[in-house]
Amino acid sequence: MEEIKELDGIEEQLDKELENVDDLNKLQQTKANFLGKKGPLAQVMANMRNLTIEAKKELGMKSNQIRKNLEDKIESKRQEIEDLIISKKLESEKIDVTLPGVKFNVGSIHPLNQTIMDLEDLYISMGYTVATGPEIETDEYCFEKLNLPKGHPARDMQDTFYINPELLLRSQTSPVQVRKMLEEEGKPIKIICPGKVYRRDSDDATHSHQFMQCEGLVLGKDITLSDLKGALLEMAHKMFGEDRNIRLRPSFFPFTEPSVEVDVSCGICGGKGCPTCKGSGWIEVLGAGMVNDNVLRMSGYDPQKIQGFAFGMGVERITMLKYKIDDIRNFYLNDVRFLDQFKEVK
Ligand code: PHE
């Protein structure tokens, strides 16, 4: 039968056409061409009218078979194209894990904060608590209640920035101790006071108009100068090493009596004398003393019943000595090359 041959030809035709189909649009078009109302299959069927019943039957079965074959071929082509699209996408979006990554900069603790944390660790382990106070202070707490009345010559050493005659940027953290004494009303105290202080100084390698202090105050029954020495020897060991020693030299502070200057044995020469310690074997690190009776009285303590010691150290000075830093300004410049060196410091 002529029509059957024609039907067989359609399948071959589709195979040929599908060879050139490489995207879903083209496939859609091909499907319409072959299976649509105007397609070759429909055409053959349209001519069936003149055939015998037998022939119609045979042609009908055959054309159903062909339609099914065409649909299957188109479907499997669709699958093929879709798989290709996905594998192309996977290929183009592949991550090359061997490429160098983007470097993520991690910060580190500033050496001054590290020193304060070390001091806090040490003194907290000895039973102290950490006290803080405002950087804008009253003249009364920063000076007067520390035995430095207006016009006292020792105020010159601590000239600072005044907001008005009664308000100033604190030149020392001692006013935190005054506040604590007023709060505790005669009871024993054991605190350290780390924080920022200000002085009217010209900035150079060893001076800064803003720096940090860590002061300490211990008040109680029978507290003596040897307790002070013990507290400071522990500090020297913790900050500079177990092999270091300290010595106390007489000095003067209005808020302590007697007052001492505290030196640590030189870590470079071990105390023999070298350029770092200017030949003396000792390096000055802080001021201290037994709290002056006037200071105790002015803040509500009875010197007959309670007494104690105070010390005050410069956090920058301790840090410079510990890490051999030669210019205080390095701490404030935010230069990453400087700060990077402390990443591993603990
Ligand atoms: N506050 C003093 C200063 O800044 C240091 C100090 C504190 C000295 C406590 C003695 C006792 O100079």
**DSSP secondary structure of 44-103:** HHHGGGGS-HHHHHHHHHHHHHHHHHHHHHHHHHHHHHHHHHHHHHHHHT---TTSPPPP
| pLDDT (0 to 100) of residue 162 | 97
Q: Distance between CA atoms of 225 and 208, rounded to whole angstroms?
A: 31
Give the closest residue (by CA) to ligand 1 atom 7.
Answer: 312
- Ligand 1 and 310: CB distance under 6 A: yes
Residue 53 alpha carbon to ligand 1 centre in Å? 122
Reported as a pLDDT band with limits 50, 70 and 90, residue 140 is: very high
| pLDDT (0 to 100) of residue 346 | 52
With a cut of 80, say whether residue 49 has pLDDT above it: no
- Ligand 1 and 288: CB distance under 6 A: yes
- Ligand 1 and 256: CB distance under 6 A: yes
Tokens 């913790």, located at residue? 238
| pLDDT (0 to 100) of residue 55 | 84
Give the closest residue (by CA) to ligand 1 atom 9.
Answer: 311
What is the mean pLDDT of the segment spanning 66-73? 92
Give the closest residue (by CA) to ligand 1 atom 4.
Answer: 172
Q: Are strands 129-130 and 189-198 parallel, antiparallel or unpaired?
A: parallel
| pLDDT (0 to 100) of residue 7 | 79
| pLDDT (0 to 100) of residue 104 | 85
pTM: 0.72
Give the closest residue (by CA) to ligand 1 atom 2.
Answer: 312
Q: Distance between CA atoms of 131 and 174, rounded to whole angstroms?
A: 11
What is the mean pLDDT of the segment spanning 79-98? 91
| pLDDT (0 to 100) of residue 9 | 86
Q: Which of 20-24, 206-210, 317-321, 340-344 has the lowest mean pLDDT?
A: 340-344
Give the closest residue (by CA) to ligand 1 atom 5.
Answer: 312
- Ligand 1 and 287: CB distance under 6 A: yes
Q: Distance between CA atoms of 82 and 85, rounded to whole angstroms?
A: 5
Q: Distance between CA atoms of 252 and 154, rounded to whole angstroms?
A: 10
Residue 199 alpha carbon to ligand 1 centre in Å? 14
Residue 247 alpha carbon to ligand 1 centre in Å? 17
- Ligand 1 and 312: CB distance under 6 A: yes
- Ligand 1 and 195: CB distance under 6 A: no
- Ligand 1 and 216: CB distance under 6 A: no
**H/E segment holding residue 167:** strand 167-169
Provide the token pair at 292. Answer: 């002056």
Mean pLDDT of the chain: 93
Provide the token pair at 143. Answer: 């000076």
- Ligand 1 and 308: CB distance under 6 A: no
With a cut of 90, say whether residue 52 has pLDDT above it: no
Q: Is 322 strand, coil or helix?
A: helix
| pLDDT (0 to 100) of residue 57 | 87
Give the closest residue (by CA) to ligand 1 atom 6.
Answer: 312
Tokens 């002015």, located at residue? 298
Question: What 8-state DSSP symbol labels residue 325?
Answer: -
Residue 241 alpha carbon to ligand 1 centre in Å? 24
Residue 210 alpha carbon to ligand 1 centre in Å? 16
Query: Do residues 11 and 70 touch, judged by C-beta distance below 8 A?
Result: yes
- Site to probe by mutation for ligand 1, drawn from 156, 192, 208, 215 as the one with most ligand atoms within 8 Å of Cβ, is 215
Residue 191 alpha carbon to ligand 1 centre in Å? 14
Q: Distance between CA atoms of 261 and 251, rounded to whole angstroms?
A: 6
